[in-house]
Structure 1
Amino acid sequence: MRPTLTHVALHVPDLEACIAFYQQFCAMRVIHRRAGKGSTIVWMAETDKEHRFIFVLMPGGKDRQLAADDYSHFGFALDSRAEVDSIAEKARLAGCLVWKPRDEAYPVGYYCGVRDPAGNYVEFSYGQPLGPGAEHMPTT
């Protein structure tokens, strides 16, 4: 048996705000929307990854009140440090920057953290062993 992670399902307090966040910050798009058990269920994915991994968003969640030093998060890899800085500035202007850009030893790399409308943290990184830039990183 070899399980494959295909999705994460989240109950969120404001479905439309979360859709807008993941579109704006993560370049995800709605690939499926349907009525389900008295509410709307939305599937979101990155372009060309619709058959590999999705977020399922459903209304009815509570706002997560994570501490700034709580590192529970979803991780998105970016193509450069400049893109991390750009996301951090966009988040600062939107009032949702949690962790300013910082550089840490491999395998952590360069990253910042942003709070989504449901209170989940989203990390944007460059230089981790997954995603863009990984081919230039040392292996351990």
Structure 2
Amino acid sequence: MSPTLTHLALHVPDLDACVAFYSEFCGMRVIHQRPGKGSQIVWMAEPGKEHAFILVIMPGGQDRQLAEDDYSHFGFAVASREQVDALAARAKAAGCLIWPPRDEPYPVGYYCGLRDPAGNYVEFSYGQPLGPGSEAMPIP
């Protein structure tokens, strides 16, 4: 059996702010939390995907200072271009929009980018060969 990616673990400077961000913008929810190594460890997942992939966040990290043209990011697929626009509008109002919505040729699609409270970039896309509707799109 090949290895399966199950989680991503991050130390963050403000645990509560990150939990709120991933709840509000990504629709993730806390599925587990416990004390650990003198701090709190939080597991978050998308509803229904708790056994497929989780985000583990822990306090103690440093703020990441990524350049605007640094495309290191976490990617979330959404169901429509309108959802990308709505997320971008909410992020702009919250002061965390870094890439306004833009359209790129396949396989990139329509996307925007946000900065989480730890400095990580988070992309929301529609039209990539991953996520909603991807079954109809071939991967080159």
TM-score band w.r.t. shorter chain: over 0.9
> Counterparts in 2 of 1:1-140, with a 5 A limit?
1-140=1-140
Q: Give the whole-Å Cα distance in 1 for the aligned partners of 2:62 and 2:99.
A: 22
Q: Give the whole-Å Cα distance in 1 for the aligned partners of 2:53 and 2:70.
A: 24
Q: Give the whole-Å Cα distance in 1 for the aligned partners of 2:52 and 2:131.
A: 15
Q: Give the whole-Å Cα distance in 1 for the aligned partners of 2:24 and 2:10.
A: 18
Q: Give the whole-Å Cα distance in 1 for the aligned partners of 2:138 and 2:54.
A: 29
Q: How far did 1:56 drift? A: 0.2
TM-score, reference length from structure 2 = 0.97
Task: Give the total of aligned pairs.
Answer: 140
TM-score, reference length from structure 1 = 0.97
Change (3 A) 1:9 1:139: closer
Q: How far did 1:17 drift? A: 0.2
Q: Is there any run of 5+ residues in structure 2 with no aligned partner, and where? A: none
Letter in 1 for 2:50: E
Q: Is there any run of 5+ residues in structure 1 with no aligned partner, and where? A: none
